[in-house]
Amino acid sequence: MSLDASFSKLDASASPTPSSCDSSALARDFGADLTALVDNLERVILGKREALKLCVVALLAEGHILLEDVPGTGKTTLAKALARSVDVNFKRIQFTSDLLPSDVVGVSTHSASRERFEFQAGPIFANIVLADELNRSSPRTQSALLESMNEGRVSVDGQTRELPRPFLVVATQNPIEFEGTYPLPESQLDRFLVRVRLGYPTESIERDLMRSRMIQDPLDNLQAVASGECIAQASEFLRRVRIEDELLDYAIAVLNATRQESEFLLGASPRAGLAWSRAAQALALVEGRDYCVPDDFKAMAVPVLAHRVVPIAPSPDHRADLASDTAVLEVLGRVPCPV
């Protein structure tokens, strides 16, 4: 069943108290369709299925993606493939040191013929926005994204303008490059639902990658397999994905551990907890379930929590991002998980 068919079926069955049978069937339909979306992305990004699934999770959960990896691993290509797989409006912003906030959100200009100021919308007014090399712009320009990422709207010249739905920011940055960059502050990192790394491919995958590019770029023939309206409806369906109290207690215990353990300078915020549970619901739906299991929370712990905490690095030259991954995994290993 296509996403459009699932959308129609969900519309027909929508009710304040849907039956468990209807909800389970719809979850299976959505899961099959969302798996097809992951498959479509895998036609371009080879051998990175888990990372692609994280991107679909962020899209469903109405979050945002921080693609953090070394140059040349396919970060920009992934963002383009995601935009082409969903039939929505896509804009790319190349962040540089001289980029201004008005270059992102837009500006009002005077029209001599109409004798009035008219708002010229910036590239942020799109469904999927690629913020390429976000950390190369100044903090002032980076802050132009905060309201849009957190509230889905922007304020310009005293007026608030709503952004389209779905709305997804895919930001890229290099984790080991420091010259000419401005590290993202914790308040901005907290706006990203997941941090995704692609990493280097295996030898066999890299051979396939090189051979496929000799013939044609797979992006050229990539077709959309979902509409923006259907993705928005699937996001609404997440409210039906159940989380038992035992799982919520487990999540809260993990969050409290990051706030109390001595290896953390900064623990996970309440917003991190809300993002974690929402991401777990989205992963459950991708897997075709209308309920969460412990593995959903475990799988989303590092992608959702690691970039929101600040661990005490074991040495000055240790990469902070890897230290945060390790610290979150250690907490997961200590906190008892419900069966």
**Among 224, 196, 204, 251, CA closest to 74:** 196
The domain that holds 215 is classified in CATH as 3.40.50.300
Is 79 in a helix, a strand, or coil?
A: helix
- Whether residues 44 and 87 fall in one domain: yes
- Whether residues 236 and 90 fall in one domain: yes
Phi/psi of residue 322, each to 5°? Answer: -70, -35
- Whether residues 246 and 102 fall in one domain: no
| 41/58 Cα distance (integer angstroms) | 14
Residue 1 lies in a domain: no
Question: Could you give the count of Cα atoms lying within 13 Å of 212 in the half-sphere of its Cβ?
Answer: 16
- pTM of this structure: 0.86
| 337/339 Cα distance (integer angstroms) | 6
Contact (Cβ atoms closer than 8 angstroms) between residue 286 and residue 31: yes
- Whether residues 209 and 278 fall in one domain: no
Counts of helices then strands in the chain (DSSP H, E): 14, 13
Residue 156 lies in a domain: yes
- Angle, helices 320-334 vs 294-305, to 10°: value is 150
Residue 287 lies in a domain: yes
Residue 2 lies in a domain: no
| β 65-68/194-196 pair status | parallel
Q: Looking at residue 1, what is its pLDDT?
A: 47
In one-letter notation, the amino acid at residue 86 is V
- Whether residues 208 and 281 fall in one domain: no
- Whether residues 49 and 164 fall in one domain: yes
Alpha-carbon separation of residue 215 from 13, 166, 210, 212, 251 (angstroms): 46, 34, 9, 6, 48
Phi/psi of residue 232, each to 5°? Answer: -65, -40
- Number of other residues whose CB lies within 10 A of the CB of residue 131: 28
Which of 208, 240, 272 is a domain's end point? 240
Which of 206, 223, 240 is a domain's end point? 240
Beta bridge partners of 160: 155
- Whether residues 76 and 198 fall in one domain: yes
The domain that holds 314 is classified in CATH as 1.10.8.80
pLDDT tens for the 339 residues of the chain, in order: 455 555 444 544 444 444 566 888 889 988 888 999 999 999 999 999 999 999 999 999 999 999 988 888 888 899 899 999 998 899 999 998 899 999 999 988 877 777 788 888 999 999 999 999 998 888 888 888 888 898 889 988 888 899 988 899 999 987 766 666 778 888 888 899 999 998 888 999 899 888 888 888 888 889 999 888 888 889 999 999 999 999 999 999 999 999 987 778 888 999 999 999 999 999 999 999 999 999 999 999 999 999 999 888 655 555 666 788 888 999 999 999 888
| 220/185 Cα distance (integer angstroms) | 36
| 209/184 Cα distance (integer angstroms) | 32
- Whether residues 103 and 191 fall in one domain: yes
For residue 323, give its domain range.
241-339
- Whether residues 171 and 185 fall in one domain: yes
**Tokens of residue 182, six digits:** 């401005």
Residue 3 lies in a domain: no
Query: Residues for the chain: how many in total?
Result: 339
Please provide the distance, in angstroms rounded to a whole number, between the alpha carbons at the two ends of the chain.
33
**Tokens of residue 280, six digits:** 């777990």
Residue 207 lies in a domain: yes
Domain count, the chain: 2
Residue 149 lies in a domain: yes
Q: What is the DSSP letter of 176?
A: T
| 159/149 Cα distance (integer angstroms) | 17
- Whether residues 83 and 142 fall in one domain: yes
Which of 204, 220, 240 is a domain's end point? 240
Residue pointed to by tokens 């899961």:
31
Contact (Cβ atoms closer than 8 angstroms) between residue 148 and residue 44: no
- Whether residues 78 and 221 fall in one domain: yes
- Cα dihedral across residues 254, 259, 265, 267: positive or negative: positive
| 173/164 Cα distance (integer angstroms) | 25
- H-assigned helices in the chain: 3-13, 20-42, 49-60, 75-85, 101-105, 139-142, 146-151, 186-189, 203-215, 228-237, 245-260, 270-286, 294-305, 320-334
| 67/52 Cα distance (integer angstroms) | 11
- Whether residues 272 and 234 fall in one domain: no
Q: Looking at residue 70, what is its pLDDT?
A: 82
Q: Looking at residue 176, what is its pLDDT?
A: 66
Residue 74 lies in a domain: yes
